Structure 1
């Protein structure tokens, strides 16, 4: 199977491997690449034995620690039977010789993905239920006992934001293709703006937005997907990212809600989302909220720049990779403005 950007999936080799390692598997095998996934290519696999989903590392030279499908698989295992819904993990293959990169299989969840955070296909009441359901899942993540889930060593303890700023500054510099003044400013000012570490730790998804959530037709959250950027960190991190995404401009690549009347749409205000999270967890960002937003604008801009670099190298997963990469400057500018720089 070939995709439009040159990535290939050797179905014959994959079928032979699954016949040997996946209990109950029966071919023949067909694969369909999902349109999403700027980072790790994702495919729906259909076989005589049933349907599942494959996620793989992309081909080509990769940044250190990026595209960690092995970590994704570990999280799926850890969250089985937790209050955070995920697809069931089926198989991990770390042998890149099989299809050219490491991959894993998970159960297919027949849910609905909403690509536009304005939710134009729903009514106001349904929109409100989706947004409150998303925040309730963030609450469940904040409450998760990571040690009991077997994730006590899933990340380094303490100083989450300081470490993340340093890490994404390095990742940005490694994928920089042209100077972005706003990113330079954020790299300079974010470390001093970070609040003191309070010792709180939780499993952080790292890319918690609506299009990484799968829903039933009745508005029940069926699965949180794309755990590639997950780690142990501060429980406010995913909340800041989720709310940052709502502020992005309306665009077809990384769509946000800027300029829309959220009240008319039935989408809860940012203050209401923060209050719901705070009442359930005891966490209130208070005066540090501008930092949380600016940090995530910075981080998203660094991610977008990485997508741009991979697109220029010819090994990005999605056809819109270049368009997403070109937004790095706009996103960084929003971060600089919310930080007050």
Structure 2
């Protein structure tokens, strides 16, 4: 029988939490927060206060992914900036506590809108406002100078794009369950067309609407899910956000189909709004789109690996691996078209 709270021992946590978070009680209850097919996110409560706990998934971990320390450091550093993030309370590197590193942060009153139907209930006007603020927040993030917030050493921006190509090829190898000829082709094409380095910036790594908690006032309450963040070429965030929109058009609901809601910005409107607030060069966006397809396909393939090996928690995994093929084909097309 599967444990009620995978990767979470409430008795052990009840001993640890009061010693690291001021005012926390020891008699705890937990709820696995729905959504997300990667790190496990729990709402923890002692009956009077509540917090959010994040830890890696149970089972196989891809190298460099699911880095709790990276998430904690990024959000802590961004606290004084215009980028909305939760308050960070405590980080635990001791794997003897819960079997893996984890951290505790504040609970933010907001909704991670994931579906067309959720936004449809708000209406086109509110949906457009939310989409505009999502883009504006990405611009704000990319304006932050990593060195000014103590993140200069949080990544290696030199040669970032080339290393990204190699990194995601390695991720495919680490999560291999099947032959993927189109992955090999896209890898070769990307390798031959890596742009020169741009100004270093913060990269969220998985920026999309359901990784932002939207307040009841339709403000961006907090950007979350920083497990893939680093310092590098920030345009990779813009490209990946666009790719999620393309994926929604061909595979509704595969990851998120919120971009299909009436009132949501079109791909061109997103690009134009971002360009209006940013000084970054968008002339070779096709490469970034292709790299984003490669990356997202690698992420999905890693989830597919865990599903095949019985290591996933919750529903919605059975058909997810099929999306890898369309992503790889879209990446090849982006390089041929641009």
Q: Give the match for residue 14 of structure 1.
A: 13
Q: How many Å separate the matches in 2 of 1:276 and 1:169?
A: 32
Q: How many Å separate the matches in 2 of 1:253 and 1:94?
A: 33
SS of 2:120's equivalent?
coil
CA contact under 8 A between 1:204 and 1:234: conserved in structure 2?
yes
Q: Give the match for residue 67 of structure 1.
A: 66
How far apart are 1:11 and its partner, in Å?
Answer: 0.6
How far apart are 1:137 and its partner, in Å?
Answer: 0.8
Q: How many Å separate the matches in 2 of 1:48 and 1:254?
A: 33
The CA deviation string for residues 257-303 of structure 1, in whole angstroms up to 9 with x for no partner, is 79x5x7xx2222222222222222222312x1221111111110011
Residue 252 (structure 2) pairs with residue 251 (structure 1): yes
CA contact under 8 A between 1:59 and 1:100: conserved in structure 2?
no
Residue 229 (structure 2) pairs with residue 230 (structure 1): yes
TM-score normalised to structure 2 length:
0.93
SS of 1:81's equivalent?
coil
Residue 269 (structure 2) pairs with residue 272 (structure 1): yes
Q: Give the match for residue 54 of structure 1.
A: 53
CA contact under 8 A between 2:203 and 2:230: conserved in structure 1?
yes
Q: Give the match for residue 159 of structure 1.
A: 159
Name stretches of at least 5 consecutive residues in structure 1 with no aligned partner: none
Once the two structures are superposed, the pairs formed by residues 102-141 of structure 1 within 5 Å of their partners are 102-116=101-115, 119-141=119-141
Moved more, 36-45 or 61-70: 61-70
How far apart are 1:325 and its partner, in Å?
Answer: 2.6
SS of 2:15's equivalent?
helix
CA contact under 8 A between 2:77 and 2:150: conserved in structure 1?
yes
Residue 320 (structure 2) pairs with residue 319 (structure 1): no
Q: Give the match for residue 308 of structure 1.
A: 304
Residue 197 (structure 2) pairs with residue 197 (structure 1): yes
CA RMSD of aligned residues (A): 2.0
Name stretches of at least 5 consecutive residues in structure 2 with no aligned partner: none
TM-score normalised to structure 1 length:
0.92
